[in-house]
Structure 1
């Protein structure tokens, strides 16, 4: 059964707000056998919304609209729906009463009453009537109008819209999907490998989505066995580069591994300026494994806080194997954690030298009774990209060490490695 998604709002068209609802909608509807043929984003323009509604209602069995249901002047969806269908706007007394008793609208009750003006035939979807959203049964077609707030949109879509669609229309054959995430791998590497496998494109749909510095691979098929076969081949070919089979980021995967081991991590950053610490703490529950982080940007801070040897800085430079080793070793000894990471490098655009040009980054990893430092050259990247890929690489080194062993600490951009005993 085919439908269309329509997302309404100037903020979406201008890019001021990311449209996360489209990801939820496509994933859920496809997984339940409902095909989405068009995804349309429209500004808060009454005539334009009406034009598209009339046209799309002739083409599809169901429409799902999102956004424009609030009480402000730019919320025009209800009016557009009513005029497109030739219906009147009528106050829904139950919705009006719920709004009147809502604490959220104590000081703006008169303005909020606008949300109770719904097109004729509109049936509210939410049990809590202060939450916008309704559907209209047009006999051969269903029209769903949902709020743009992501949590409310997902709740109504999964709990109300999909059950109603399933009652009315017979879903097509279910399509299974598998989302894999890779690191330290180009999407072209994946593409070449899968092309060599000679899968029938009608049987297996493949999507490549770079999420710097990760690559997301989406596989879809009506044959669950085929998906299992493809994933097995990818694991065999790309093993250590496969971060997740559940569409989970490298940051979260590493955190889960640390929790499962009951281990603690501390980091010392220079060129990444705290980005690694920020990534780690962006995940809920990170206090279970992230002990602390230092931003030791100056040579003096490295010496004072981490115990980096002054003579190593003077002899080898602040961006060197020796300093990265010292940073990781000093941190592990001072903080008494299971793993310690030290990062130093030239993120650019200035700095660098002939031996260590911009993009050179040394990452030290201390564990057990050993500390390793890898030299990377992230050539041709902008400053923030170098900081980001350096932070992810440090986490991936830890992930590979835990899942595999130190023999798998091999990377495309690594140009050397040194180690010492603790």
Structure 2
């Protein structure tokens, strides 16, 4: 039940491309009750690939290799595998005919580079002869090997359609598999990693997974067991343990987005919201209106990017801007109060900050963002510092603004001043 993943591509080890294939394969294998003991990324180098493959053959029951199956000069995986396993390269007629038909349908000539993809090590079997993705499997001794393309969509298709069913048919696992997903915002990756250490000690049979999805973090809780009741009970306990340690950051248990959670909360409370945005430039409004029916609780928003817009549309006082600046607690408060009053809503939400890359100072560096929330005459504002690119800072600011609304609706003590 244990194996490893090898991803091939110079772009992976140079940092130009994220290794999403290894991430996806590991998550799918773990969720299926199979164990991943190692993940290795190597460049397009014959010696390195051969070494990684040889080591995997000596230590694993299955090996999944992605990348290097295309038609370009640096796609060498098939030739390297044939050489390492001392097998001849053989033309797979079905694959050749398939590639040729695709080429002809697109008005392309059947070149030697395209034909290269139809040559496979002796004994290899095409994973999906009738499909559009190139991949094959082999058996070397007691080890099953699967070779998948590096293109993420093609890799995921073959992983789900061919590799997982084949592995689960050959390696016995417990019959009942269940998985739960918790979405978190506002907690760092090191804190989650430390939390996992204590959770794994208490629930050794439960598989905890951690997947950053900027600006969110997702936790998966997976378990295989003999029957539904026992699996559900243990998952309930594991989820309760996570909630007990990280509950304030958990905004969804399932597939719901932050904007969907906030929308349901506003409907339940019978409240309407309006936004006043500066550095986010309308991202908060866009997120809220991604949800069908959001007009039931979102009245609208003002993008008050300039000082003149803050004064003219929201009623921010010129004296406030002169004394404290556009990026300040005082301005955020007046923006929230202004949009609440002028839109005639229950909650006014504001954000103003410095997204960069220029415009920062020693007192207010790039990434400084102020948030404001006004409700029934009371107001609250706070300063945050975000890191990253301009795009990341703006995305984090929009997400934090909605998280403020979520926390307010749940009576979070953090917003007890409102």
User: The TM-score by the shorter chain falls in which range?
Assistant: 0.7 to 0.9
Q: Cα offset for 1:172?
A: 6.6
Q: Deviations over 1:193-243 (max 9, x none)?
A: 888889546455666777776555555656733331132244356544322
Comparing 313-322 and 209-218, the one that deviates more: 209-218
Q: Deviations over 1:145-184 (max 9, x none)?
A: 1111112111111111111112223237877655433334
RMSD over equivalenced CA pairs, Å: 4.1
Partner of 2:122: 120
Q: Distance in 1 between matches of 2:413 and 2:259?
A: 15
Q: Cα offset for 1:308?
A: 3.1
Quick check: 1:410 aligned with 2:411?
no
Partner of 1:391: 398
* Cα separation, partners in 2 of 1:117 and 1:193, compared to 1, 3 Å: closer
**TM-score normalised per structure 1:** 0.77
Quick check: 1:35 aligned with 2:38?
no
Match among 244, 260, 275 for residue 255 of structure 1: 260
CA contact (8 A) 2:50 2:81 kept: yes
Q: Distance in 2 between matches of 1:245 and 1:168?
A: 33
Q: Deviations over 1:365-398 (max 9, x none)?
A: 357x6674322354x9678676555333211012
What is the DSSP-based 3-state SS (H/G/I as helix, E as strand, rest coil) of the residue aligned with 2:133?
coil
* Unaligned ranges ≥5, structure 2: 226-230
The equivalences for 1:186-265 within 5 A come to 199-200=201-202, 202-203=204-205, 214-217=216-219, 219=221, 224=231, 225-236=233-244, 238-246=246-254, 252-255=257-260, 257-258=262-263
CA contact (8 A) 1:177 1:220 kept: yes
Partner of 1:19: 19
Q: Distance in 2 between matches of 1:81 and 1:89?
A: 10
* Cα separation, partners in 2 of 1:222 and 1:358, compared to 1, 3 Å: same
Partner of 2:182: 180
Q: Distance in 2 between matches of 1:74 and 1:337?
A: 60
The equivalences for 1:333-372 within 5 A come to 341-345=349-353, 350-351=360-361, 361-365=369-373, 372=379
* Cα separation, partners in 2 of 1:47 and 1:279, compared to 1, 3 Å: farther
Q: Distance in 2 between matches of 1:293 and 1:209?
A: 32
What is the DSSP-based 3-state SS (H/G/I as helix, E as strand, rest coil) of the residue aligned with 1:90?
strand
Q: Cα offset for 1:38?
A: 1.3
* Unaligned ranges ≥5, structure 1: none
CA contact (8 A) 1:30 1:175 kept: no
Partner of 1:96: 96
Q: Cα offset for 1:90?
A: 1.9
Q: Cα offset for 1:14?
A: 0.9
